[in-house]
Structure 1
Amino acid sequence: MLVPLSNTPRDYAWGSTTLLADLEGREPTEVREAEVWFGDHLGSPARTADGRTLDQWLSDPPAGAQAPQRLPYLLKLLAAASPLSIQAHPSLTQAAIGFAREEAAGIPVDAPDRTYRDANHKPELIVAVSDRFLALAGLRPLDASLRLLAAIGPAADGLAVRLRGADDSPVAAIAWLLSSDAAADVAAIIDAARTAESAEFAAELELACSIDAEYPGDAGIVVALLMNFLTLRKGDGLFLPAGVLHAYLSGLGVELMAASDNVLRGGLTPKHIDVDELLVVLTPETGVPPIVVGSPVSAGVSRYTVPVDDFALLVAHSAEGASATLPVAGIAIAVATEGSPTIVGARSGARHTLAPGTAVLVTQDEQELLVEGEGVVFLATPGQ
């Protein structure tokens, strides 16, 4: 069974006024469109053609449809025009403990100062749909960060001293940066970064200046200087397990994650920041996260292999006059990003043509999905 899905873009402040409109071939508006959720998470469940939310549909599917009560994953289109908050996500154990603690405290689940909105972890995979997708991800190795701070000059000496005594982890230095004790140092580092020169770190210094224009004086700007600045090319993926500090900066991507909305923020946002809890979940290791590329599965089909059981992501590139076959391992959601491909349920024979930015739920009894006509289709399924 194929079930068309739709949803209204979420209008977060960092969203783009053009990226989703361009993808869908419509005129942009002045409204910032940041994310479109294709899933049953109660924060913004997708809607089916009969007007029900997807969680309602899953609780009472049509006769003969094989469907779980809840999806283990959440699929999104993400369109960033400016930086998202610097953030990390909890492990499954941390999420369960944090959610239970806030439930016992009587904090409403939709309260602005709520940290844990569910009891699930949130590993995530982003795949670039735009030609470039910029991100900060992971903590840069300390020797490289010390070279960057040396380029900034004496204003960064206090931070450099803290990093040299950090025992290979900058977490304690980040804790200091996010405290009121570091306010004067943060302001001085940002000011010095405006005129600093470095061939090795020119992009990072330019980024700090551009972020300062969005979030003047924010301590997250200096935290960003301790993170890896990555450029994903179209089709590149970035996997972020629990505890890895990151911030998407700009671009359009397909994002797949465990079904959770738990975010621990550390700057560059007007939303609730819980520094103490961020430091609890933050992974202390440094290093550059690897770029994930699709591994061929069959003609025109690749899989982004990630080490979690919650989800898997496949992509089909189909050509006019040909077809590609996507395996359906459990209930799946397909979303198109190029062309006008027609998907066909192998078991039911049901057909649905997708325009870029549109999605359809595929029940697990289909077993396979044929993609006909020219286009690109991403398929989210439970992990294996």
Structure 2
Amino acid sequence: MLIPISNTPRDYAWGSTDLIARLQGRTPSDAPEAEIWYGDHPGSPSHLLGAGGGTLDEALARAGEARLPFLMKLLAAGSSLSIQAHPTRAEAREGFAREEAAGIPLDADERLYRDDNHKPEIIVAVSDEFRALVGIRDLAATRRLLAALGEGPALTHLDRLLADPDPERAVRGALEWALTEATPGDVDELTRALETATDAEFAPEIEVLRAAASDFPGDRGLYVALLMNLVVLHRGEALYAPAGVLHAYQSGLGVELMAASDNVLRGGLTPKHVDVPELLRVLDPATGPAPLVRPGPLPGGGAEFAPLVADFALTHVALESAPVTVPLRGPAIALAVTGEVTVEDGDERVVLAPGDAVYVGGGALAVTLAGTGEAFVAQPGVDGAEG
């Protein structure tokens, strides 16, 4: 069963004004277009193309098919997303039950747990570069960055916190200070230091932090961003953000795949609600390199990004001369990002242009892609993985 689907770009303020439009061959409207959602998530279910219309969640319910365990997105960042982390499934169940018992409306600004699921996620760069802040940088490196920024009361205090011989205690102490005790004057101190700082080792980090300071003036999250790894993905490279890992995408176009959840604990660079105790409760304070993920080749062609979660895996297919058949473990969504991609499932056939997608269901064991373009196939993860 093949069902062509589409959706309307979401106009979050951080969205790019041109990346999605150019991928789809449209003239940019100069309004932010941040994400297109492909899936049956109730927050923005995909629309069915063709006769009948309606949404994918309605179609799956009519066909007796289960809800998708994943949500696929085309994401285009023109400025920083909020710094955020996501809970484990156990933490999500406990938090959701707690807020339900407290009677907090699902759409309330202070609501943290809008469902009882975890939200690990992966993103693969589609633009030539995709920048992101992910995970906590090695503390010795951050202290070198602080030294490059110069002296000042707040910077010196943060350096002392990071000098704690217990790395986990150092991270938690620095984050708690940044999000609860840092004053507007402290944020101004860091902003001024970034304006004049020059350092060969941290030039890209300083550039990203300057942009964040300009986009979010006075935001305490600037100190959180200072602690994080900067990652520059090139086209086809991917990073993985498991539960508890701080991340904030900065710029570029990518295909994102996540567990079907909307649970977000924010840590700054946002006007939205930040619950510091809950963020610190779910936080993974480990330091070190960003969690990149490499694909494994598939026998029939293509390469699969398969982090150890049962919810999702993502196959990248660059079509040249021969069709590529992708084995399936369950329902899937195929999304084209370049060229013209033909998707076949038995007797059915759908042609996709960049930004077009198709749902593959009905118990299909494989889907074949042909043409001269590039596509991604989202499906459930490997059996036996964490779920």
TM-score normalised by the chain length of structure 2: 0.94
Instruction: Look up the SS of the partner of 1:178 in the other structure.
Output: helix
What CA distance in whole angstroms lies between the structure 2 residues aligned with 1:202 and 1:121? 35
What CA distance in whole angstroms lies between the structure 2 residues aligned with 1:58 and 1:248? 32
Q: CA deviation at 1:295?
A: 1.4
Say if 1:39 and 1:45, in contact at 8 Å, map to a contact too. yes
Say if 1:151 and 1:198, in contact at 8 Å, map to a contact too. yes
Q: CA deviation at 1:182?
A: 4.2
Aligned AA (1:288): P
Say if 2:331 and 2:364, in contact at 8 Å, map to a contact too. no
Q: 1:181 to 1:127 in 2, by over 3 A?
A: closer
Residue 64 of structure 1 corresponds to: none
Say if 1:125 and 1:238, in contact at 8 Å, map to a contact too. yes
Instruction: Look up the SS of the partner of 1:256 in the other structure.
Output: strand
Q: CA deviation at 1:51?
A: 2.0
Deviates more, 1:103-112 or 1:81-90: 103-112
What CA distance in whole angstroms lies between the structure 2 residues aligned with 1:233 and 1:4? 29
Which one of the candidate residues 64, 78, 82 is aligned to 2:79? 82
Residue 27 of structure 2 corresponds to: 27
Residue 151 of structure 1 corresponds to: 148
Aligned AA (1:355): A
Residue 336 of structure 1 corresponds to: 336
What CA distance in whole angstroms lies between the structure 1 residues aligned with 2:362 and 2:285? 39
Q: 1:20 to 1:166 in 2, by over 3 A?
A: farther
Residue 385 of structure 2 corresponds to: none
Q: CA deviation at 1:325?
A: 0.8
Please give the residue correspondences for 1:242-253 in structure 2 after superposition, counting only pairs within 5 Å: 242-253=243-254
Q: CA deviation at 1:208?
A: 1.5
Residue 323 of structure 2 corresponds to: 323
Residue 2 of structure 2 corresponds to: 2
Residue 365 of structure 2 corresponds to: 367
What CA distance in whole angstroms lies between the structure 2 residues aligned with 1:202 and 1:374? 39
Say if 2:135 and 2:291, in contact at 8 Å, map to a contact too. no
Aligned AA (2:297): P
Please give the residue correspondences for 1:188-337 in structure 2 after superposition, counting only pairs within 5 Å: 188-320=189-321, 322-337=322-337
1:239-259 Cα offsets, whole Å, 9 max, x none, are: 110000010000000000000
1:158-211 Cα offsets, whole Å, 9 max, x none, are: 100011126113121111111144443332122122112211111111221111
Instruction: Look up the SS of the partner of 2:252 in the other structure.
Output: strand
The answer to whether the aligner puts 1:57 opposite 2:54 as a matched pair is no
The answer to whether the aligner puts 1:120 opposite 2:117 as a matched pair is yes
Say if 1:235 and 1:293, in contact at 8 Å, map to a contact too. no
Deviates more, 1:209-218 or 1:124-133: 209-218
Q: CA deviation at 1:118?
A: 0.8
Aligned AA (1:2): L
What CA distance in whole angstroms lies between the structure 1 residues aligned with 2:33 and 2:262? 18
Q: CA deviation at 1:10?
A: 0.9
Please give the residue correspondences for 1:10-21 in structure 2 after superposition, counting only pairs within 5 Å: 10-21=10-21
Aligned AA (2:94): I
Deviates more, 1:173-182 or 1:255-264: 173-182
What CA distance in whole angstroms lies between the structure 1 residues aligned with 2:122 and 2:104? 30
TM-score normalised by the chain length of structure 1: 0.95
What CA distance in whole angstroms lies between the structure 1 residues aligned with 2:338 and 2:62? 32
1:341-360 Cα offsets, whole Å, 9 max, x none, are: 11110xx3200000000110
What CA distance in whole angstroms lies between the structure 1 residues aligned with 2:193 and 2:308? 41
Aligned AA (1:74): L
Say if 1:123 and 1:241, in contact at 8 Å, map to a contact too. yes
Aligned AA (2:47): R
1:13-47 Cα offsets, whole Å, 9 max, x none, are: 00011011001001111321101111111111112
Q: CA deviation at 1:226?
A: 0.7
Please give the residue correspondences for 1:174-193 in structure 2 after superposition, counting only pairs within 5 Å: 174-193=175-194
The answer to whether the aligner puts 1:70 opposite 2:72 as a matched pair is no
Q: How many residues align?
A: 376
Aligned AA (2:194): A
**Structure 1 runs not aligned, ≥5 long:** 62-66
Q: CA RMSD in A?
A: 1.3
What CA distance in whole angstroms lies between the structure 2 residues aligned with 1:43 and 1:111? 14
Q: CA deviation at 1:112?
A: 2.1
Q: CA deviation at 1:274?
A: 1.6
Say if 2:330 and 2:364, in contact at 8 Å, map to a contact too. no
Aligned AA (1:53): T
Aligned AA (1:84): L
Residue 166 of structure 2 corresponds to: 167
What CA distance in whole angstroms lies between the structure 2 residues aligned with 1:304 and 1:315? 8
Aligned AA (1:358): D
What CA distance in whole angstroms lies between the structure 2 residues aligned with 1:139 and 1:183? 23
Instruction: Look up the SS of the partner of 2:3 in the other structure.
Output: strand
Instruction: Look up the SS of the partner of 1:177 in the other structure.
Output: helix
Instruction: Look up the SS of the partner of 2:32 in the other structure.
Output: coil
Aligned AA (2:106): V
What CA distance in whole angstroms lies between the structure 1 residues aligned with 2:142 and 2:181? 22
**Structure 2 runs not aligned, ≥5 long:** 383-387
What CA distance in whole angstroms lies between the structure 2 residues aligned with 1:206 and 1:70? 42
Instruction: Look up the SS of the partner of 1:279 in the other structure.
Output: helix
